[in-house]
Amino acid sequence: MGRPSRKDEILQAALACFSEQGVDATTIEMIRDRSGASIGSLYHHFGNKERIIGALYLEGVGQYARLVEDGFSGADSAEACIRLLVACYIDWVVANPEWARFILHSRGRVEASEMGERLREANRLHHGRIDEVLRPHREAGAFRKMPRECFVSIVIGPAQDFSRHWLAGRTRTHLADCRELFMDAAWEAVRARQVRLVSMP
């Protein structure tokens, strides 16, 4: 793996500052000092703090999207696809707890910012790719019928909710230890129920 770019260094410095000081209390000067970048370099790459916040958010959700994208190539069944969505989410959160905490608390701010349209486009592309991969399984009747808008929330929602509690230190159980449980629960929640016909005497 190559050396991080100056842009990546600034984002990681910003994440450290946001985690230690809070997003609102962090200044451009703090990020500059932490990253070792010049003010000129920082403004060249981002322009202002709100764009740093947006870029950090987009990079984090983009990493999850890339994990899913890479994993889809080996997911050969409807169940494997659903389990992959949950596994990638949990794995990314466990590997990046500070980043995940930032994302969970910053969505509204980014959506309302000048980066909001980029976030909506990234989400549209990501969910479009998920729909594309799941479409053959859906058409084959692998999933129970439900509004399309509910599907991803039902799959990821329980793991995301527990992640919030884990990241806040409100659980005794480690998130990674629940990985299989949430994968099982997601599949059970969306899989089609096969009804066995019984002949009456």
What is the identity of the amino acid at 62? Answer: G
Q: Of 7, 19, 115, 4, give the one whose Cα is nearest residue 61.
A: 115
**C-alpha to C-alpha distance for 173 and 148, rounded to whole angstroms:** 32
- Same fold for the pair 1-47 and 50-190: no
pLDDT range class, residue 26, cuts 50, 70, 90: very high
Which pLDDT belongs to residue 4? 67
Find the mean pLDDT for residues 121-126.
Answer: 94
Compare 45 and 81 and report the one with higher pLDDT. 81
Chain mean pLDDT for the chain? 92
Report whether pLDDT(54) > 80.
Answer: yes
Asked if 189 and 154 count as a contact pair (C-beta separation under 8 A), the reply is yes
Per-residue pLDDT tens over the stretch 27-51: 999 999 999 988 888 888 898 999 9
User: Yes or no: is domain 1-47 CATH 3.90.650.10?
Assistant: no
pTM here is 0.89
pLDDT at 2 (0 to 100):
54
Backbone angles phi, psi at 75, to 5 degrees: -95, 105
Instruction: Give the burial string for 158-181 (b: 16+ CB within 10 Å, else e).
Output: bbbebbeebbeeeeeeebeebbee
CATH of domain 50-190: 1.10.357.10
Is 127's pLDDT higher than 70?
Answer: yes
pLDDT for 3 equals: 62
C-beta separation of 140 from 51 below 8 A = no
Residue extents of the structural domains in the chain = 1-47, 50-190
**Among all chains, which residue has been given the structure tokens 């947006």?**
54
